[in-house]
């Protein structure tokens, strides 16, 4: 374990094997850091933060700070949980939950570039690439294997499915279904076909995903009409995931606007 002499590490913090903590970093007592993690200089781990093994926390990153919610009671218990293998670069910020006993959650192997932000009560899946200064509001749900472009903004309570590619500076206030490419303001520009191939989707699975995409985005049917027609047959798991998403509970509505 290598802790720089200028770092401030509470004696109650739990540190795994081979953890390194850089100069002027702050680690509070409710923090748990897994084996092999690197915490860079000037990073702050505040409140209750649980970090999985093999993570990297960049210079000036702040994890577990109070949520940006005027009604939040600072005396209540909440926190942040981060899965193994995440790389959080310079000045990344992740806020704790607003609800007692609840945590803002990041899955495994996520790469957050400089200045990216995750708001309170959000849930981020695995293997996502979140580019510079991407802004994820409170209560947002992000799936797996997505690429969210630099400066893209996600309004509170938005959902994003799996394998979605979002262009930089996109404004997102509706739910984006799995496998799509999004840009501008709530606009979908087609399927993320390259991403599906790279993810190992079979030719048959990609063909089914293309079918359901056409049904919802090219047929001129309304959402419930398209769902009803889709349920007339049995689909593979990849296409079924798309249908489950668009048929699921949504607070913001499904984005069906295409270029």
101 by Cβ neighbours in 10 Å (0-12 / 13-18 / 19+) ranks as exposed
Q: Where in the chain is the domain with CATH 2.160.10.10?
A: 2-157
Q: What proportion of the chain, given as a percentage, has pLDDT over 70?
A: 100
Q: What average pLDDT does range 71-95 have in this prediction?
A: 96
Of 152, 148, 96, whose CA–CA distance to 122 is shortest? Answer: 96
Catalytic (active-site) positions: 120-121, 138
Say whether pLDDT at 81 is over 80.
yes
Of 105, 257, 240, whose CA–CA distance to 176 is shortest? Answer: 257
Task: Considering only the C-alpha atoms of the chain, give the largest distance between any 2 of them, rounded to a whole number of Å.
Answer: 66
Q: What average pLDDT does range 123-136 have in this prediction?
A: 98
How crowded is the C-beta side of 25, counted as CA atoms within 13 Å? Answer: 27
Q: What average pLDDT does range 92-115 have in this prediction?
A: 97
Q: What proportion of the chain, given as a percentage, has pLDDT over 90?
A: 98
Looking at residue 252, what is its pLDDT?
97
Q: What share of the chain is helix, strand, coil (3-state, %, to 5)?
A: 15, 30, 55
CATH number of 2-157: 2.160.10.10
Say whether pLDDT at 41 is over 80.
yes
Looking at residue 22, what is its pLDDT?
98
Say whether pLDDT at 1 is over 80.
no
pLDDT confidence bin for 34, thresholds 50/70/90: very high
Q: What average pLDDT does range 221-230 have in this prediction?
A: 96
Token pair belonging to 179: 């496998």
Looking at residue 20, what is its pLDDT?
98
How much is the pTM? 0.96
Token pair belonging to 162: 């799996």
Looking at residue 58, what is its pLDDT?
98
Looking at residue 259, what is its pLDDT?
78
H helices of the chain, in order, are: 193-198, 203-217, 223-230, 237-246
Whether the CB-CB separation of 205 and 215 falls below 8 Å is answered with no
How crowded is the C-beta side of 138, counted as CA atoms within 13 Å? Answer: 13
For 181-195, the pLDDT digits (tens) are: 999 999 999 999 999
Whole-number average pLDDT of the chain:
97
């Amino acid at each position: 374990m290598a802790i720089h002499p200028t770092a401030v590490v509470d004696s109650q913090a739990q540190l795994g094997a081979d953890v390194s903590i850089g100069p002027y970093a702050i680690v509070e007592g409710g923090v748990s850091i897994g084996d092999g993690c690197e915490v860079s200089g000037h990073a702050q781990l505040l409140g209750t933060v649980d970090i999985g093994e093999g993570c990297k926390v960049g210079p000036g990153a702040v994890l577990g700070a109070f949520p940006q919610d005027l009604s939040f009671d600072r005396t209540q218990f909440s926190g942040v949980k981060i899965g193994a293998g995440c790389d959080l670069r310079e000045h990344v910020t992740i806020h704790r939950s607003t609800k007692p006993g609840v945590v803002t959650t990041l899955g495994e192997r996520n790469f957050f570039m400089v200045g990216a932000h995750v708001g309170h009560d959000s849930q981020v899946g695995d293997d996502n690439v979140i580019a510079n200064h991407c802004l994820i509001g409170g209560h947002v749900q992000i799936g797996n294997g997505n690429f969210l472009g630099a400066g893209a903004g996600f309004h509170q309570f938005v959902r994003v499915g799996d394998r979605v590619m979002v262009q930089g500076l996109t404004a997102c206030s509706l739910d984006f279904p799995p496998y799509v490419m999004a840009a501008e303001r709530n606009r979908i520009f087609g399927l993320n076909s390259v991403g599906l191939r790279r993810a190992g989707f079979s030719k048959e699975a990609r063909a089914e995903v293309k079918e359901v995409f056409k049904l919802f985005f090219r047929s001129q049917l309304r959402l419930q009409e398209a769902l009803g027609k889709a349920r007339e047959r049995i689909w593979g798991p990849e296409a079924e995931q798309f249908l489950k998403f668009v048929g699921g509970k949504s607070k913001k509505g499904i984005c069906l606007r295409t270029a």
